[in-house]
Amino acid sequence: MQAVEIYDTTLRDGSQGEGISFSVEDKIKIALKLDRMGFHYIEGGWPGSNPKDMEFFRKIAQQPLKNSRITAFGSTRRPGGKAGEDPNLKSILAAGVQVATLVGKTWDFHVTHALNTTLEENLAMIRESVAFLRSKGLQVIYDAEHFFDGLKANPEYALATLEAAAGGGAGTLVLCDTNGGSLPEEIREAVVLAGKKFSVPLGIHCHNDGDLAVANSITAVLAGAAHVQGTVNGYGERCGNANLCSVVPNLVFKCGVETIPTENLRKLTELSRYVSEVANMHPVSSMPFVGASAFAHKGGIHVSAIVKSPHTYEHIDPELVGNRRRVLVSELSGLSNLLYKYRELNLDLELQKEENRELLERIKEMENQGYQFEGAEGSFELLLRKLKTGYREPFKLENLRVIIEMSEDKPAYTQSVIKMSVGDKVVHTAAEGNGPVNALDNALRKALDRFYPCIRNMQLSDYKVRVLDEKDGTGAQVRVLIETGDGERSWGTVGVSENIIEASWKALIDSIAYGLLKNKEGSRPGEG
Amino acid sequence: MQAVEIYDTTLRDGSQGEGISFSVEDKIKIALKLDRMGFHYIEGGWPGSNPKDMEFFRKIAQQPLKNSRITAFGSTRRPGGKAGEDPNLKSILAAGVQVATLVGKTWDFHVTHALNTTLEENLAMIRESVAFLRSKGLQVIYDAEHFFDGLKANPEYALATLEAAAGGGAGTLVLCDTNGGSLPEEIREAVVLAGKKFSVPLGIHCHNDGDLAVANSITAVLAGAAHVQGTVNGYGERCGNANLCSVVPNLVFKCGVETIPTENLRKLTELSRYVSEVANMHPVSSMPFVGASAFAHKGGIHVSAIVKSPHTYEHIDPELVGNRRRVLVSELSGLSNLLYKYRELNLDLELQKEENRELLERIKEMENQGYQFEGAEGSFELLLRKLKTGYREPFKLENLRVIIEMSEDKPAYTQSVIKMSVGDKVVHTAAEGNGPVNALDNALRKALDRFYPCIRNMQLSDYKVRVLDEKDGTGAQVRVLIETGDGERSWGTVGVSENIIEASWKALIDSIAYGLLKNKEGSRPGEG
């Protein structure tokens, strides 16, 4: 079985992505997760270019890693200089790693135009820099920048740079598609060509500018590369690097290549979400393998088929990568989506056939108004429960008023007054807020607190507004989605109205009502 | 030169993406953009499954399309039924299209387990359904669902289903990787095999579950497919469909394949952003070719190289796809952004060097707060003008109050009271509205009407709300974008605040102030 090393550069190349900035602590936390995952190498940073990176190397050295080796990145020595005196190479030594990753120029145009030196000097820079680090006992991974573009422009010279790195003692020759514009077939031919020339193992490092980084990485492996570089979630400069969350499961489950233990892939979804959380990037829900939508079924025909057999519309079992199957309820869906949803919610709500149809009609009608129950499972379950007799609302609005005041020289001031009934008790209170919805949220919590102390644990974690049919201007329908969590679980609720305050209020009271329902059920979720 | 038809299914398969729901109006607007783009086919929907889709077909028939043909989607007739009596096929006829896209089962397991019929009956269903639509004068595109999985499971049967479609008169046989799990090499072999068996042109329809949809689509074309299906931004069920925003530029600029006119690709970035705006999906900034980060340079070495020569770190010229180069985190980038904006706005406002720096600081500070001037050129120009002496605000707020009331049995009631000054006159008035912003809009117009009768011609045409940093819940910053038109031109304005009412108010007064400015200038836009 072919075996391939996985090399993660989230902490260096990944941090070049727009909007991404890791603190040293962030980097340590991510490195520990990557080690737990079993990736073979973790590129920690570029100590010569960034003082923050040096601190990372100091701190990570104190962590006992189980699986991964930390590498420090740097470029070949300066033109005309000496390897032993090069500040960049010295800082790699200072990082205290056992493995260095050195990048060098392959493309003749870059040598003469970006580096402003001669083609011969560049070859010397590569050979001497690698040899210097080898002489200090380090393993050297050589990144041939712009290899594929260089090979097109001047094949003889491109191969001569690899020869220089191999001559200097590099343990791996990594072919980089730095500008990310190569096609799979070009990658395949180049890897085969280099494989014939060199006995040193080859690696691949792809960027995603052509939307082909994953395909290019896999193609390189199938053509003989034994080392793959990429980042978690594909973060990186411009369009990002090859996404390891896609490359690794493809290699393992599709290509039969040995990488990390198959069992570890069950932590892949968690890894992806953890890194997007630390990076404070919106997770892309459609991300293959690990996205929240990756195994989410919406079309009615799809759902009725997966109920019979999941692999009718799933390429792999979601659990293999730690993800899960979801069924969405929308106007596109049929009865089978509803039935699946019951089962998933573990609802003990046996609706009669007629009730089912009624519910489906009601849902379609609400969706016509602009409701959307995807991501609003809380409102959906409440809707179901209200259809059955025996559901008691935990509180009722008597009336409310929101007042917003602004004047030329003062910022806006908002307060809300609400009157609610809980059972036979009436509570009448008021609160301020940053804005009208925040003021309502505050007043509602204040009103309900003494009846339901557990609402103190419920936190709004997300608030989204979508103006429907925006052409109607300020008179358009508005949909509000709210996400709430209580530390154990989280749930979404939805409200729609022409009035944004009313829409928000609907989503707000659903979020509290649903939280109370689940709290009452305690550890028996789903039991009515 | 190889030529390939581009088939867009954003309106049907794209709408299966989680969180995506298009109104009929949305679909019409998108279809007009796709037509302008020059895509050969636009799949409008599935009239047999969704009444909203039928309305789309009625409405689009009244639009004069220049380039695209509208297709209606449907499945083969029911097992045991007659094609001529099948409600699904009849609704395709009722849609009034000239092209139908029929999907049929290829995978024996699906026929027996999802469809619950015999392999023979499925072949008859395919042949008879295609033949029926052909007999009514329609062109038929046949989508072979699960072709690649079916081919693996039972190659003889999979090919027999294509034979049935070809025998019925299908004009294109589209090989679908429905579960999105195939590798490029599998796609290549299968397309070559089918190409040897059939003289009918082949098409390709890929899903992205393995993160390979773009690579698979291109591979199929290079193996002989003459028709590619996909969606804008890759929207679609689970991980989405092949992203046409990546497939088309790859085919044109990398593979030398003829698709749509190369010139039209300059509208690609605009198309992508328009569709994500209509779908209200967060645009993915790292999206290849069209993303905001696709040509954004962050690394110091990259930036200094691209200043010398852009193609050192760019695989294509961003302007070819209507995108633009950006340089992140640098004083330089700020100034060049500014100069870029002047040029774009065609502004005749020669700012002094000091004014430029001051403006830049002000813009950076506002962007930090969440302002965004893309799509808000009205607010941007007002900002510039306020910096110059001689600008007089057309009106001023003294104070305002908005009151929203709701009670258990009555819908929300909203009124606003505002006091404004115009020159030395003070006006104090009130108005109702559907919601708080609408009430403010009404009161503002009422107050200003007698001073500036021309505001009667100004109509809000778009109102958008984006919650920034949604994790802060109802206390998060909110950005409001308003689009206003006066019949001749339209302009965008922006407001940001923690309070949605304040943010809306800022965008509202800018929209009126800018309209008044342009009205005063008459037909001399841009002159101060």
Total number of domains in chain A: 3
- Over range B234-259, report the average pLDDT: 97
* Domain final position from A321, A351, A369: A369
Return the higher-pLDDT residue of B334 and B281: B281
- Over range B460-471, report the average pLDDT: 72
Minimal C-alpha gap between B411 and chain A (Å): 8
Does the pLDDT at position A84 exceed 80?
A: yes
* DSSP-derived secondary structure for A185-230: HHHHHHHHHHHHH--SPEEEEEB-TTS-HHHHHHHHHHTT--EEEE
| Least confident range of A21-25, A79-83, A381-385, A388-392 | A388-392
What share of chain A has pLDDT > 70, as a percent? 92
Task: Give the angle subtended at the CA of A379 by the CAs of A376 and A383, to the nearest 5°.
Answer: 140
Does the pLDDT at position A91 exceed 60?
A: yes
Taking a C-beta distance cutoff of 8 angstroms, is the pair B206, B213 a contact?
yes
Same domain, B213 and B326: no
Does the pLDDT at position B525 exceed 60?
A: no
| Least confident range of A47-61, A439-453, B480-494 | B480-494
Structural domain includes residue A189? yes
Structural domain includes residue A288? no
> pLDDT by residue (tens digit) across A450-480?
999 999 988 887 777 877 765 566 667 888 8
What share of chain B has pLDDT > 90, as a percent? 66
> pLDDT by residue (tens digit) across B291-338?
989 998 876 677 667 777 888 889 999 999 999 887 664 333 445 556
> pLDDT by residue (tens digit) across B34-48?
999 999 999 999 998
Structural domain includes residue A198? yes
Q: If residue B393 lies in a helix (H) or strand (E), which one and from where to where?
A: none
> pLDDT by residue (tens digit) across B368-395?
677 777 667 788 888 888 877 678 889 9
Domain that includes residue A503, residue range: 396-523
Structural domain includes residue B379? no
Query: Using the 8-state DSSP alphabet, how is residue B439 labeled?
Result: H
Check B109 against A285: CB less than 8 A apart: no
Interface test with B, best of A364, A408, A474, A486 (most B CBs within 10 A): A474
- Compute the mean pLDDT over every residue in chain A, rounded to the nearest whole number: 89
Partner residue opposite A239 with nearest CB, options B179, B218, B286:
B286
Cβ neighbours of B113 in A, within 8 Å: 308-309, 312
Interface test with A, best of B238, B241, B276, B304 (most A CBs within 10 A): B238
Same domain, A332 and A466: no
For residue B157, the domain's CATH number is 3.20.20.70
The listed range with the strongest mean pLDDT (A107-116, B191-200, B348-357) is B191-200
Structural domain includes residue B383? no
Partner residue opposite B296 with nearest CB, options A238, A465, A475:
A238
Same domain, B273 and B310: no
Q: What's the confidence (pLDDT) of residue A502?
A: 93
Does the pLDDT at position B340 exceed 80?
A: no
Query: Using the 8-state DSSP alphabet, how is residue B83 labeled?
Result: G
Check B312 against A110: CB less than 8 A apart: yes
Q: pLDDT category, A97, cuts 50, 70, 90? A: very high
Taking a C-beta distance cutoff of 8 angstroms, is the pair B106, B158 a contact?
yes
Residue B469 to residue B482: CA distance in whole angstroms: 20
Q: What's the confidence (pLDDT) of residue B519?
A: 83
Interface test with A, best of B24, B143, B286 (most A CBs within 10 A): B286
**Rounded to whole angstroms, what are the CA distances from B149 to A288, B78, B145?**
18, 23, 9
CB pairs under 8 A between A and B: 378
Q: If residue B495 lies in a helix (H) or strand (E), which one and from where to where?
A: strand B490-497
For residue B418, the domain's CATH number is 3.30.160.270
Give the bridge partners for B495, in sequence order.
B480
Q: What's the confidence (pLDDT) of residue B333?
A: 42
Q: What's the confidence (pLDDT) of residue B160?
A: 98
Same domain, A347 and A496: no
Structural domain includes residue B377? no
Residue B375 to residue B380: CA distance in whole angstroms: 10
* Domain final position from A350, A369, A388: A369
Residue A60 to residue A34: CA distance in whole angstroms: 13
Q: What's the confidence (pLDDT) of residue A526?
A: 33
Q: Tokens in use for A204?
A: 């691949």
Structural domain includes residue B97? yes
- Chain centre to alpha carbon of residue A53: 23
Same domain, B449 and B317: no
> pLDDT by residue (tens digit) across A323-348?
988 877 665 556 666 777 666 666 65
Give the global pTM.
Answer: 0.76
SS3 labels along A453-507? HHHHHCEEEEEEEEECCHHHHHHCCEEEEEEEECCCCEEEEEEEECCHHHHHHHH
* Domain final position from B354, B369, B384: B369
Partner residue opposite A284 with nearest CB, options B255, B284, B437:
B284
Does the pLDDT at position B349 exceed 80?
A: no
Return the higher-pLDDT residue of B194 and B307: B194
Q: What's the confidence (pLDDT) of residue A523?
A: 37
Q: What's the confidence (pLDDT) of residue B524?
A: 33
What share of chain B has pLDDT > 70, as a percent? 90
Does the pLDDT at position A437 exceed 90?
A: no
Is A478 an interface residue toward B (CB < 8 Å)? Answer: yes
Return the higher-pLDDT residue of A137 and A23: A137
Complex ipTM, two decimals?
0.77
Q: What's the confidence (pLDDT) of residue A83?
A: 96
Does the pLDDT at position B155 exceed 80?
A: yes
Taking a C-beta distance cutoff of 8 angstroms, is the pair A281, A235 a contact?
yes
- Compute the mean pLDDT over every residue in chain B, rounded to the nearest whole number: 89
- Chain centre to alpha carbon of residue B289: 15
Same domain, A269 and A148: yes
Cβ neighbours of A218 in B, within 8 Å: 183-184, 212
Q: What's the confidence (pLDDT) of residue A419?
A: 96
Same domain, B362 and B262: no
Q: Tokens in use for A495?
A: 């409200």
Partner residue opposite A209 with nearest CB, options B298, B315, B499:
B315
Same domain, A253 and A360: no
Same domain, B245 and B330: no
Same domain, A239 and A177: yes
The residue in chain B having the minimum alpha-carbon distance to the alpha carbon of residue A505 is B406
Minimal C-alpha gap between B117 and chain A (Å): 14
Partner residue opposite A469 with nearest CB, options B25, B113, B472:
B25
User: A205, A179, A168: which is closest to A89 by C-alpha?
Assistant: A168
| Least confident range of A28-32, B32-36, B457-461, B463-467 | B463-467
Q: What's the confidence (pLDDT) of residue B363?
A: 75
Residues 221-240 of A with CB under 8 A from B: 222, 234-235, 237-240
Structural domain includes residue B528? no
> pLDDT by residue (tens digit) across A9-67?
999 999 988 878 788 888 999 999 999 999 999 999 999 877 778 999 999 999 999 99
Residue A63 CB: number of other CB atoms within 10 A? 11
Q: What's the confidence (pLDDT) of residue B121?
A: 98
> pLDDT by residue (tens digit) across A262-311?
999 999 999 998 898 778 677 898 999 999 899 988 877 777 788 788 88
Residue A265 to residue A248: CA distance in whole angstroms: 8
* DSSP-derived secondary structure for B219-264: HHHHTT--EEEEBGGG--STT-B-BHHHHHHIIIIIS--B-S-GGG
Q: pLDDT category, A113, cuts 50, 70, 90? A: confident
Residue B146 to residue A447: CA distance in whole angstroms: 56
> pLDDT by residue (tens digit) across B107-140?
999 999 888 999 999 999 999 999 999 999 999 9
Q: What's the confidence (pLDDT) of residue B386?
A: 82
Same domain, A78 and A189: yes
Same domain, A306 and A207: no
